[in-house]
Structure 1
Amino acid sequence: MFKKLGVVALSGALVFSGLSLSSVDAAKPDHAGKGKGNNGKVENVIYMIPDGFSADYATNYRVYKGEDAVWDEYLKGMYTTNSANSAITDSAAAGTAMATGVKTNNGVIGLDPEGNELETILEAAEKAGKSSGLVATSTITHATPASFAAHVDNRNNETEIAKQLVASDVDVILGGGKNNFLPISLGGKQAELNLVEQAEEKGFNFIETRDQLKNIEDLDVEKGDKLLGLFAGDALAPELHRAETEEPSLAEMTETAINVLEEDKDGFFLVVEGSQIDWAGHDNDSAWAMSDVAAFEGAVEKAMEFAKKDGKTIVVVAGDHDTGGMTTGAYGSMELNANVLRNVTATGDYMATQLNSNRSNVKEVVEAHTGLELSEEEVQRIQKAQNASMEINTVVSEHARIGWTSTNHTGADIPLYVYGPQSQKFVGFHDNTDLPRIIKEVMKLK
């Protein structure tokens, strides 16, 4: 049976303005909906993880959008992210901490540093009779979603993670990574077994396209049914290119997951990852980053709409770490200009593939996909660059007044946004391991 959850996790970043967290929280009206805030019952949790997102992403996104993000007024605090063996975490260790409340080593999923299996907050919710779901724009076997339902010592073993997901009690699985579920003879990369067939035997309805997702009633999906949606062999396309595919948006996957899971009268626990914010950060691609934050916000809006109507759901928005060391303002300018990124229609990587052999068409390609007017110096930089994609991204970021300090993760603290009953319990400065502990408390899980 599917169940209803009452917690939604939102992660983002706001700029603090001198008030203490407690005074900010106290000064704001109670927006917990029917749950009436501080003491309301929590049946459902929507744990939303914008991978790689930090306070500077939040500020630049506000400029990009031209107004506050849906999560801004629900800022509750911030938290640290180090792993057990490094000051800077990877997504596996961060996801494990956010799922289990225990630090582990980078690269490890669902195990402590000694290799002992850890129970996740999603698994604890399932033991309490609740339904569960995982949604991501990466492969669904990628580090963050895997951390809530799998236990492996190497995050790269995505075939084993796929096996564990099929064998688990997760009810809704939506994302990319179909190759990890199919045998090599059917085009898969690694899988030895046809895990899609095993999933169907276990009661999953299997879908592969956006149209199928939008019309699941045509598949006779009933209350209590399971749903497996694998919409690409590998990860889904970046948001900038999603419309060119048959792949659904993160908002569409989130809405469908909620619609299926809410049929469970005991509640549900849903994890939603905006996976590719992180990948854009690794590429220092500010337009890709902002467009995927926008896609993530669309998913948060779907979660919030449900939470406000339901009154027993909490939405937690919390990134797992910062990626790229994005800055708000750069290159000596006192202006913020991220709004120019709204005109960008392609990733830097895609634009680089459109350059001819001698890169004589740099100006035409980049201007066509960005709406920016390049100087001759900028054109020459891209023509001479060892990595044309990265140089395109640098030029675009310069126009947007966005700087980058790394192509890896950083140790920056991460903002925490929470909406719904008992959201005040999240107020304060935390470690990432505190989040599942607080969720456990508000859900009254054993």
Structure 2
Amino acid sequence: MLKKVGVVVLSAGFLFTIAWLPGWVGSGQPSEPGNDNENQKVKNIIYMIPDGFNADYATNYRLYKEEDVVWDEHMKGMYTTHSADSSITDSAAAGTAMATGYKTNNGVIGLDPEERELETILEASQESGMAAGLVATSTITHATPASFASHVKDRNNETAIAPQLLENEVDVLLGGGKNNFLPGSEGGNQESNHLIDQASDQNYAFVETRDALQDAEIDIEAGEKLLGLFADDALAPEMHRDETKEPSLADMTESAIGSLEEGEDGFFLMVEGSQIDWAGHANDAAWAMQDIAAFEAAVEEAIAFAEEDRETLVVVGGDHETGGMTVGMGENPEMNVDPSVLKNVTATGDHMASALNSDRSNINEVIGTYTDFELSESEIQTIRNADDAASAFNQVISDRASIGWTSTNHTGVNIPVYAYGPQAADFTGHLDNTDLPKIMAEVLGVELGG
């Protein structure tokens, strides 16, 4: 593996001295025990994927939060994301690349372009005796989590993905998508068997609420597993989660770590903040910021564990960017951006649109209920005359924060990677998304096959 060293060139003699000072690593910063230590063993990996997130999201979120973000000091490099058949990837091809180290075509999960099965970093970890877990705020059968433990030609075939997650005996599965585990007679998909019963036969404890998750205790060494399906479809956006009995992403991350850490041979855990991407598709800036906040809380759980454990590597990186989010928009003569105005937005654009009456005469009432804005007459007319009221709400709210958008789909820009823990410096420099699982396999000492 190529090690990249980033330093500021002052003088040859100074650099020579720096290079040989004990405790210094390729980032040019003194390492703390368990952070960037090239000689430290990696026992566990927590792979955290903020779907749709890139540097512009990171910048707007920092301005939204009005203080530093947990991953800021752990920035290591950037990576490219193209798929095998397109310069702009979808989540299936990106997830496959990030799980297997191989490119594939958009829409394909766990298979190469010739439909040959690819081994994932989760599967390779399991083969070495490690425990494994998947956590997501989407359905647990959605493209990104599916890419780590299933192999299908079509990402939309979630009822074919669900049994594979159980067949691969992933120890902890937490997210939405209960309908994909139920037969059609019980509200699920007609193609699905009663996989929850099957999971019970495989020694999975099954939970459906935040409280049940908090009370769940499993013994990994005794072969016990945990299946948490907290919604029929995807979980609620973070800003609507309190209206449900669903756990937060941080709750699920904490529970997953607590269960998996009991394994004697270490664990591999993938955690996805799924709905940052969905907010990007909708150009919904408030939804994006609040789901990033939920994702940051989950990263804080992971890093807190890694700080104490000192054998855990935490890697954070999105699968692609969504929406072409920009920091600033239009002419912006004041040269100012203020995402903090989004803190008092309490509903998605879709939710606000659903609250409109038939003639849209209650726009001010809806805005007053879910924001602290007072709309101008031109803003009211924008929403009243729009073909898509949800998009119009999102446009007006993004304009207030000076957050711009160039697309309602994915873009092909590079993505930042952050890493904390032993061997974190291995992620330094300009990479491709296929490099991430290869580095993980190397630091774990496992073989990642094709």
Q: Aligning the two structures, in what range does the TM-score lie when normalised by the shorter sequence?
A: over 0.9
Q: Give CA-to-partner distance per residue, 1:127-176, whole Å, 9 cap, x none.
A: 00000000000000000000000000000000000010111121000000
What's the secondary structure of 1:23's corresponding residue?
coil
Structure 1 unaligned regions, length at least 5: 1-19
> Could you tell me how far apart the structure 2 residues matched to 1:407 and 1:73 are?
30
* Mapped pair 1:23 → 2:7: yes
Higher alpha-carbon deviation: 185-194 or 172-181? 185-194
Q: Aligned partners of 2:158 and 2:285: how far apart in 1?
A: 28
| Contact 1:251–1:296 (Cα < 8 Å) also in 2 | yes
User: Alpha-carbon deviations, 1:248-287, whole Å to 9, x = none?
Assistant: 0000000000000000010000000000000000000000
Rounded to whole Å, the distance in 2 between the matches of 1:394 and 1:404 is 9
Structure 2 counterparts to residues 93-108 of structure 1, below 5 A:
93-108=93-108
**What is the rounded CA distance, in whole Å, between the counterparts of 1:113 and 1:283 in structure 2?**
30
Q: Distance in 2 between matches of 1:401 and 1:316?
A: 30
Q: CA deviation at 1:215?
A: 1.2
Alpha-carbon distance in structure 2 between the residues aligned to 1:363 and 1:44: 51
Q: Among the aligned pairs, what percent are the same residue?
A: 64
Mapped partners of 1:220, 1:164: distance in 2: 22
The structure with more radius of gyration: 2
Amino acid at match of 1:387: D
Assess, with a 3 A threshold, how the Cα gap between structure 1 residues 415 and 270 changes in structure 2: closer, same or farther: same
Superposition misfits of 4+ residues, deviation over 6 angstroms: 219-222
Within-5 A mapping of 1:121-160: 121-160=121-160
Q: Distance in 1 between matches of 2:360 and 2:220?
A: 51
Give the conservation status (yes or no) of the 8 Å contact 1:315–1:419.
yes
Q: 2:313 is matched with which residue?
A: 314
How far apart in 1 are the matches of 2:224 and 2:30?
A: 39
1:248 alignment partner in structure 2: 247
For the Cα contact (< 8 Å) 1:317–1:417, is it kept in 2?
yes
Report the AA paired with residue 274 of structure 2.
Answer: S
Contact 1:173 1:229 (8 Å CA) reproduced: yes
Q: Report what 1:59 is aligned to.
A: 59
Larger RCO: 1 or 2 (CA < 8 Å, sep 6+)? 1
Shift of 1:41: 0.1
Residue range with higher mean Cα deviation, 281-290 or 208-217: 208-217
Instruction: Give the corresponding residue for 1:439.
Output: 440
Partner of 1:170: 170
The answer for the alignment partner of 1:3 in structure 2 is none
- Matches of 1:319 and 1:341, distance apart in 2: 22
- Between the aligned partners of 1:137 and 1:332, the Cα distance in structure 2 is 36
Looking at structure 1, the residues matched to 220 and 80 of structure 2 have their Cα atoms a distance apart, in angstroms, of 41
Q: Is contact 1:46-1:303 (8 Å) kept?
A: yes
In structure 2, the CA distance between the partners of 1:145 and 1:379, relative to structure 1 (3 Å rule), is: same
Q: Which residue of 1 aligns with 2:423?
A: 422
How much does 1:26 deviate?
2.9
Assess, with a 3 A threshold, how the Cα gap between structure 1 residues 164 and 353 changes in structure 2: closer, same or farther: same
Contact 2:75 2:416 in 1 (8 A): yes
Residue type matched to 1:268 in 2? F
User: Contact 1:21 / 1:77 at 8 angstroms: preserved in 2?
Assistant: no
* CA distance in 1 between partners of 2:405 and 2:366 (Å): 23
- Bigger Cα displacement from structure 2, 191-200 vs 343-352: 191-200
CA contact (8 A) 1:134 1:270 kept: yes
Alignment of 1:260-271 (within 5 A): 260-271=259-270
1:68: Cα distance to partner?
A: 1.3
- Listed one character per residue, the Cα deviations across residues 23-80 of structure 1 (whole Å, up to 9, x for unaligned) are 386333324x446712100000000000000000000000000011100100000000
Instruction: Report the counterpart of residue 407 of structure 2 in structure 1.
Output: 406
Conserved? CA contact 2:221–2:262, under 8 Å = no
1:367, distance to aligned residue in structure 2 (A)? 2.8
Distance 1:277 1:36 in 2: 28
How much does 1:22 deviate? 1.4
Cα distance, 1:63–1:331 mapped onto 2, change above 3 Å: same
Partner of 1:375: 376
Give the secondary structure class of the aligned counterpart of 2:7.
helix
SS across alignment from 2:27: helix
C-alpha RMSD of the superposition: 1.5
Q: Report the residue type matching 2:382 in the other structure.
A: R
Contact 1:367-1:374 within 8 A present in 2 as well: no
Deviations 1:303-345 (A, max 9, x none): 0000000000000001000000000011222101100011110
- Equivalent residue letter for 1:197: D
Corresponding residue of 2:182: 182
Give the distance between the partners of 1:373 and 1:193, measured in 2 at CA. 51
* Mapped partners of 1:137, 1:349: distance in 2: 18
Task: Give, in whole Å, the separation in 2 of the partners of 1:331 and 1:294.
Answer: 26
Normalised to the residue count of structure 2, the TM-score between the two structures is 0.92
Whole-Å Cα distance in 2 between the matches of residues 36 and 392 of structure 1?
44
SS at match of 1:28: coil
Corresponding position: 1:292 with 2:291:
yes
The one-letter amino acid of 1:402's match is I
CA distance in 2, matches of 1:36, 1:54: 23
Equivalent in the alignment of 2:364: 363
Q: Offset of 1:221 from its aligned partner?
A: 8.7
8 Å contact 1:378–1:395 — kept in the other structure? yes
Where do 1:26-105 residues align within 5 Å?
A: 26-31=27-32, 33-34=33-34, 37-105=37-105
- Give the superposition deviation at 1:363: 1.3
Cα distance, 1:191 vs. partner?
A: 3.9
